[in-house]
């Protein structure tokens, strides 16, 4: 019981403590897989001079937020947007001196999916798998020097597809990533048109990935609201109180993460809790503390207000602790119930 209380106090004290910087957050959350210096391990290398300048902050932030469901890279749903931005800044500190991040247009690539599919089978499947499911295993293989030194990531992955823009995929194919088995396909004899076709094929995986809210594989639950951002925040608070939760605080942020499109503006987070529930869940598994207090984020994207929360069912799968299935199912019902009620 004492352990539970001290954990609970830690969790409650967290928001008051000084915010850890990006380097510290990286050491806590990422170094175990990507290496203290970003040279890779269970995770792919992040510090490569051919990687960092070629991807946007949005790509890095969205990758951290969504993870790669079904692969080893976790979704960091518990980190705030500010924390994610701090980690991104830390990754940027590894950029080669004097280098700049390329600016990519947001223009969609329009290629021939059927041609792209054939080219993919010919040129990419050997490493990325017949359906883009990625190589066997992940990250860097230190122990088997004769295999690929770096395992090809999954491309049909909902987390990857949500984070990567068409132009980012195209740039990766055009330039390759020096220092990895991923070569420039322009140099391998593909034309720019061939590459556009392959990009369109890779993008077509998105439709099959079936990343829908309510699915256990989805790290985030999402629901549209018919109201304005401010009205939705109030409706979420009323609905949470109606379900015996106490509102702890609200926070508004100038949002980095959802700024994949220029139109996006602000996000608002409502934090709430129910001490009985927290106690019960913490007693079962202290890791639950990472996701407390409960929170629902309200965002406006392209004129549409959305409510979002972590998906507790996804967490229960990630934690792999059968005892958590029941509280996670309860929490799932709570989140869905609050969002449904707030959108009535």
Residues engaged in binding ligand HEC (CB under 6 A): 29-30, 32-34, 42-46, 51, 60, 63-64, 68, 71-74, 76, 87, 123-124, 126-128, 134, 138-139, 150-155, 157, 160, 169, 172-173, 177, 180-182, 185, 198, 202
Q: Smallest distance from the beta carbon of 226 to ligand HEC, in angstroms?
A: 34
Q: Smallest distance from the beta carbon of 268 to ligand HEC, in angstroms?
A: 23
Give just the sign of the alpha carbon dihedral 237, 240, 244, 245. Answer: negative
Pick the closer one to ligand HEC by CB: 29 or 311.
29
Tokens describing residue 83: 């924390």
> Which of helix, strand or coil describes residue 297?
strand
Pick the closer one to ligand HEC by CB: 190 or 288.
190
**Residues 151, 138: Cα–Cα separation, whole Å:** 5
- Cα–Cα–Cα angle for 283, 289, 294, rounded to 5 degrees: 110
Pick the closer one to ligand HEC by CB: 123 or 243.
123
Pick the closer one to ligand HEC by CB: 7 or 140.
140
**Residues 133, 71: Cα–Cα separation, whole Å:** 9
Torsion angles phi and psi, residue 128, rounded to 5: -90, 0
CB 149 within 8 A of CB 181: yes
Residues 6 or more apart whose Cβ sits within 8 Å of residue 180: 44, 45, 48, 50, 149, 150
Q: Smallest distance from the beta carbon of 111 to ligand HEC, in angstroms?
A: 11
Pick the closer one to ligand HEC by CB: 177 or 313.
177
Q: What is the DSSP code (8-state) at residue 140? A: B
Nearest one of 256, 51, 22, 257 to 153, comparing CA atoms: 51
Q: Smallest distance from the beta carbon of 208 to ligand HEC, in angstroms?
A: 16
Pick the closer one to ligand HEC by CB: 177 or 306.
177
Q: Smallest distance from the beta carbon of 280 to ligand HEC, in angstroms?
A: 27
Pick the closer one to ligand HEC by CB: 128 or 295.
128
Tokens describing residue 274: 């129910």
Q: Smallest distance from the beta carbon of 204 to ligand HEC, in angstroms?
A: 12
CB 169 within 8 A of CB 196: no
What count of other Cβ atoms lies within 10 Å of the Cβ of residue 249?
Answer: 11
Q: Smallest distance from the beta carbon of 62 to ligand HEC, in angstroms?
A: 9
Whether omega before 339 lies within 30 degrees of 0, making that bond cis, reads no
């Amino acid at each position: 019981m004492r352990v539970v209380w001290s954990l609970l106090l830690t969790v409650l004290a967290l928001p008051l403590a000084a915010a850890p910087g990006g380097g510290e957050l990286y050491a806590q959350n990422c170094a175990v897989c990507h290496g203290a210096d970003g040279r890779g391990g269970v995770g792919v290398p992040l510090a490569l001079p051919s990687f960092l300048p070629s991807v946007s902050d949005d790509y890095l932030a969205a990758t951290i937020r969504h993870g790669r469901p079904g692969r080893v890279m976790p979704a960091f749903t518990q980190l705030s947007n500010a924390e994610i931005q701090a980690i991104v800044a830390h990754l940027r500190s590894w950029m080669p001196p004097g280098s700049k991040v390329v600016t990519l247009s947001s223009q969609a690539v329009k290629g021939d999916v059927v041609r792209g599919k054939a080219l993919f089978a010919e040129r990419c499947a050997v490493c990325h798998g017949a359906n883009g499911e990625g190589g066997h295993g992940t990250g860097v293989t230190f122990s088997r020097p004769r295999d690929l030194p770096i395992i090809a990531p999954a491309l049909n992955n909902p987390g990857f597809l949500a984070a990567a823009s068409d132009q980012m995929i195209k740039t990766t194919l055009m330039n390759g990533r020096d220092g990895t088995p991923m070569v420039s396909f322009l140099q391998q004899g593909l034309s720019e048109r061939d590459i556009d076709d392959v990009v369109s094929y890779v993008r077509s995986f998105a439709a099959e990935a079936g990343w829908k809210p309510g699915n256990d594989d989805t790290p985030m639950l999402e629901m549209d609201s018919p109201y304005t951002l401010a009205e939705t925040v109030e409706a979420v608070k009323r609905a949470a109180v109606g379900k015996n939760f106490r509102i702890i605080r609200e926070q508004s942020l100038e949002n980095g993460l959802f700024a994949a499109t220029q139109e996006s503006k602000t996000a608002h987070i409502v934090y709430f809790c129910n001490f009985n529930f927290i106690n019960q869940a913490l007693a079962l598994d202290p890791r639950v503390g990472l996701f407390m207090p409960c929170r629902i984020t309200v965002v406006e994207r392209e004129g549409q207000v959305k409510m979002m929360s972590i998906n507790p069912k996804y967490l229960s799968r990630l934690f792999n602790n059968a005892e958590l299935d029941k509280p996670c199912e309860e929490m799932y019902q709570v989140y869905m119930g609050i969002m449904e009620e707030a959108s009535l």
